[in-house]
Chains A and B, each alone.
Chain A
Amino acid sequence: MREQVITGDIIADPKTKYGDAKASTRHFITQRVTGAINVLFIGLLVFIVVRSAGQDRADMVALIGNGFIGIPFAVLLAIVTVHMRNGMRDTLEDYLSGATYRLAMLLNTLFCLAVGLAGVVSILKLVFWG
Chain B
Amino acid sequence: MTVRSRPTSPHLQIYRWTITMAMSIAHRATGIANYVGSALLVLWLAAAAIGPEPLNVVNAIYGSWFGQLVLFAYSRSLFHHMLGGLRHFVWDFIEMMEPGQREAIARANLVASIALTLLVWTVFVWVR
Are A54 and B59 in contact, with the CB atoms below 8 A?
Answer: yes
Asked whether A80 lies within 8 Å of B38 as measured between CB atoms, the reply is yes
- Contact: A84 with B48, CB < 8 Å? no
Task: Judge whether A66 is part of the interface by a CB distance below 8 angstroms.
Answer: no
Task: Report the minimal beta-carbon distance from A72 to chain B, rounded to whole angstroms.
Answer: 14
- Which residues of B8-51 are within 8 A (CB) of A? 8, 28, 31-32, 34-35, 38-39, 41-42, 45-46, 48-49, 51
Contact B6 A11 (CB under 8 A): yes
Least CB separation from A80: chain B residue: B38
Instruction: Report the tally of A-B residue pairs with Cβ distances under 8 A.
Output: 85
Residues of A within 8 A of B42 (CB): 115, 118-119, 122
Cβ–Cβ contact B86 & A126, under 8 A? no
Instruction: Determine if B55 is an interface residue (Cβ-Cβ < 8 Å).
Output: yes
The interface size bin for chain B is: 35 or more
- Interface residue B124 (Cβ < 8 Å from any Cβ of A): yes
Within 19-35 of A, Cβ neighbours of B (below 8 Å) are at 32, 35
Contact B5 A125 (CB under 8 A): no
- Chain B residues positioned under 8 Å from A123 (CB to CB): 45, 49
Residues of A within 8 A of B31 (CB): 87-88, 91
Contacting pair B28 A91 (CB below 8 A): yes
Most chain-A CB neighbours within 10 Å: which of B31, B41, B48?
Answer: B48
Contacts of A111 in B (CB 8 A): 35
B13 to chain A, nearest CB (A): 17
Could you name 14 residue pairs across A and B whose Cβ atoms are closer than 8 Å?
A11-B8, A12-B5, A14-B6, A39-B86, A42-B79, A45-B78, A56-B55, A60-B55, A84-B35, A88-B35, A111-B35, A115-B39, A119-B41, A122-B45
Binding site for A on B (CB under 8 A): 3, 5-6, 8, 28, 31-32, 34-35, 38-39, 41-42, 45-46, 48-49, 51-52, 55-56, 59, 62-63, 78-79, 82, 85-86, 88-89, 92, 120, 124-125
